[in-house]
Amino acid sequence: MNSISRPMKPEVMQRGEPILPQSPENGYDQNWYPICSSSEVEPDKIYGTEFMNGRVIAIRDADGKAHVMSAYCRHLGADLSDGEIIGGTVRCPYHHWRFDAQGTCVATAVNDKPPANAKLFHFPTAEAFGFVWAFNGAEPLYEVPHFPIPEEGLEYRTEFNVLTHQDHFIPYSNSSDIQHLMAVHKINLEVNPEDVEIFPHRMHYFQTMNVPGMGKLRQEVFVFGTNCVIFMSQFLGRPVLNMSSGKALPGHRTLHTMITATPKGTGQPGEAEQIDLALSEGMRFGNQLFNEDMTIMKHLKFRRDLLTHSDRMLARYLDYVRAYPRTSIACDMIA
């Protein structure tokens, strides 16, 4: 009997619930987001910048501690980044109401009592690796992103200039997207999706990357929230750490930091050159990956349609994103 071989049943995964765009209606992920470089927040100055669906200000209090708050005055909505720091308070440019470093209106200019709820939205704020970070929520759900080696023991370089035209969780799906690593970056990635440890606000796993020109790199990977990924590898015999984290911007855009770090030297001969080379190579590799993705990320219309066997790692990440907590708590105040 003539047996006609049937095509193999495609191994396709269930599509699952859609992952809604980040917006005031759907909420924004409760992540730590890099807001600006620490050096941009000068004493006695007000720094204004875009964030999520609107705009925030960053200031320093009398102790030099950074604070990120909604940018629009609670009186008639003037942009407080056009104001001035007067007597340790943010003075609105319009009618000179004054707000303290926690965002509470402490005075009007006409001796009217400030309304009881005249308070800016004050984001939990932290500084790390030369950036000011704000947590989207009333209280942080996890520690600000960090390497397994304390910041004081590291030398690092930073950049904050790569812009992608997608919600932040989409570019950060890249590190779990094995098909694209091969097709776009020519990187062969070995990782077992079953070995990924998934916690409510972070992921942790090991992988081996085979990178053209760099050989096999064994990496420890940490994912914080849905907008930050850290790779720890060995290069030139020393640990090299890369962190990239994205700031959510209006219009479903994301601005990305890149941080490359390596342990400080111990004064061995030739060590300074090695550190320099490790940091340059870490930064170059991070930029190369972003550049290779750029055109695709610009035009992609995200959907989780038909995933296949090789997408198991990506499917785990997308399930993690789907379950991730969101909030709109600040959205009205910053827009």
- Piece of 128-136, 159-167, 259-267, 287-295 that binds Fe ion (CB under 5 A): 287-295
Q: Encoding tokens for residue 14? A: 């269930």
Dist CA 249 CA 55 (whole Å):
9
Q: Of residues 41, 59, 68, 92, which one binds ligand FES by CB under 6 A?
A: 92
Range 219-256 burial, b when 16+ CB lie within 10 A, else e? bebbbbbbbbbbbbbebeeebbbbbbbbbbbeebbbbb
In this structure, the number of other CB atoms found within 10 A of the CB of residue 285 comes to 21
Dist CA 189 CA 92 (whole Å):
53
Nearest to 234 by CA among 191, 263, 258: 263
Kindly report the backbone phi and psi dihedral angles of residue 153, in degrees, each rounded to the nearest multiple of 5, phi listed first: -95, 10
CA dihedral 306, 311, 317, 323 (to 10 degrees): 30
Which CB atom, from 92 or from 228, has the smaller least distance to ligand FES? 92
Dist CA 29 CA 290 (whole Å):
22
Is 95 among the residues that bind ligand FES (CB under 6 A)? yes
- Piece of 72-80, 121-129, 166-174, 268-276 that binds Fe ion (CB under 5 A): 166-174
Dist CA 13 CA 152 (whole Å):
45
Which CB atom, from 60 or from 180, has the smaller least distance to Fe ion? 180
Dist CA 123 CA 127 (whole Å):
13
Q: Of residues 50, 100, 167, 293, which one binds Fe ion by CB under 5 A?
A: 293
Is 73 among the residues that bind ligand FES (CB under 6 A)? yes
Which among Fe ion, ligand FES, none contacts residue 174 (Cβ within 5 to 8 A by kind)?
Fe ion
Q: Of residues 94, 206, 235, 302, which one binds ligand FES by CB under 6 A?
A: 94
Is 84 among the residues that bind ligand FES (CB under 6 A)? no
* Nearest approach, Cβ of residue 248 and ligand FES (Å): 26
Which among Fe ion, ligand FES, none contacts residue 293 (Cβ within 5 to 8 A by kind)?
Fe ion
- Piece of 93-101, 255-263, 280-288, 298-306 that binds ligand FES (CB under 6 A): 93-101
Scan residues 240-279 and list those touching ligand FES (CB under 6 A): none
Which among ligand FES, Fe ion, none contacts residue 92 (Cβ within 5 to 8 A by kind)?
ligand FES
Binding site for Fe ion (CB under 5 A): 174, 293
Q: Provide the binding-site residues for ligand FES, judged by CB under 6 A.
A: 73, 75-78, 92, 94-95, 97
